[in-house]
Amino acid sequence: MVEIKTAELVKKYNFKFSKGLGQNFLVDDSVPRDIVAGAEVDGNDLVIEIGPGVGTLTAQLLNKAKRVVAIELDSDLIPILQEEIGDNPKFSLIHNDALKVNFNEIIGDEKSVKLVANLPYYVTTPIIVKLLKEKYNFKSLTIMIQKEVAERMDAEPSSKDYGALSLLVQYYCDTKIIRKAPPQCFMPRPKVDSIVVKLDKLDKPRVSVDNEKLFFDVIRSSFNMRRKTLWNGVKSIGLPKEKLELAFEEANIDPKRRGETLTIEEFALLSDKINKYL
């Protein structure tokens, strides 16, 4: 069993935390254990980890997975990871920005691929958008994120947290909360509470749409102006007024409603009707 003692390694290498890189390392042993158990990692899995830090979660993943590929941006962490876990044949390290990585080059023809990460909070949403929209062959994404972001992912129509991120995540995944992690689980301590959430990829998207790009454009435009009517948001799509009226009529959706009241099924229907007249 490999185990990494975060605080000891930080001291040993005199590692200086970079606030700009969202570095809050796990120091409570129960959290990485619960992440690995929640992700249901087993010996068939290729696990891709974003932001291994000093390897605290990575070491626990290596105990269970077939292989672990970790992507780390901070050049100061690369020699530490190489020294501590670099000789484990199941481990590979990529020194890069996760937002610039083509994950298909890592996945190759692996069938059982899981993403597991304690994500840097400053870049959580762009990473999730990339991982879902680029349609990688992940079975699941088990991620530690800020509590507020987890609540947005899980939100239902008409609630204050419901928005474009809720619809994106729910289009592709089922969400399951694994556990909470208060600030004292990390060093340095973040100012916010965190949650581990598991996103299980659906075999096919939750709703079927004729034009996926338009579906997400309609969603984005509906939430761009939160307190305005759906009509005011969606007119930016550029459809002539009469045609947009027909699309709303055929979808049986009142254009005076606000975007945040629409279910994912209603967004799918409205975007299909708009698509018909584009």
Q: Which is nearer to ligand SAM, 95 or 206 (CB)?
A: 95
Binding part of the chain for ligand SAM, among 85-93, 117-125, 148-156, 236-244 by CB under 6 A, reads 117-125
Q: Which is nearer to ligand SAM, 9 or 164 (CB)?
A: 9
76 known ligand binder = no
Q: Does 21 bind ligand SAM (CB under 6 A)?
A: yes
Q: Does 132 bind ligand SAM (CB under 6 A)?
A: no
Supply the minimum distance, in Å, between the C-beta of residue 246 and ligand SAM: 44
To which residue do tokens 């590929």 refer?
69
Q: Which of 23, 170, 221, 271 binds ligand SAM (CB under 6 A)?
A: 23
Taking alpha carbons only, the member of 247, 172, 159 closest to residue 205 is 172
Q: Which of 9, 10, 15, 22 binds ligand SAM (CB under 6 A)?
A: 22
Binding part of the chain for ligand SAM, among 48-56, 103-111, 161-169, 195-203 by CB under 6 A, reads 48-56
Supply the minimum distance, in Å, between the C-beta of residue 25 and ligand SAM: 3
Q: Which residues pair with 28 in a beta bridge?
A: none
Other C-beta atoms lying within 10 Å of the C-beta of residue 231: 16
Q: Which of 8, 42, 83, 97 binds ligand SAM (CB under 6 A)?
A: 97
Q: Does 94 bind ligand SAM (CB under 6 A)?
A: no
Supply the minimum distance, in Å, between the C-beta of residue 20 and ligand SAM: 9
Give residues 221-250 in contact with ligand SAM (rule: CB under 6 A).
Answer: none
What is the chain's length? Answer: 278
Supply the minimum distance, in Å, between the C-beta of residue 173 and ligand SAM: 21
DSSP calls for the chain: -----HHHHHHHTTPPP-GGGT--EE--THHHHHHHHHTT--TT-EEEEE--TTTHHHHHHHTT-SEEEEEE--TTHHHHHHHHHTT-TTEEEEES-GGG--HHHHHTT-S-EEEEEE--GGGHHHHHHHHHHTT---SEEEEEEEHHHHHHHT--TTSTT-SHHHHHHHHHEEEEEEEEE-GGGEESPPSS-EEEEEEEEPSS-SS--S-HHHHHHHHHHHHHTTTS-HHHHHGGG---HHHHHHHHHHHT--TTS-GGG--HHHHHHHHHHHHHH-
72 known ligand binder = yes
Binding part of the chain for ligand SAM, among 104-112, 116-124, 148-156, 173-181 by CB under 6 A, reads 116-124
Binding site for ligand SAM (CB under 6 A): 21-26, 50-53, 56-57, 71-74, 77, 97-99, 118, 120, 123
Q: What are the binding residues for S-adenosyl-L-methionine?
A: 24, 26, 51, 72, 97, 118
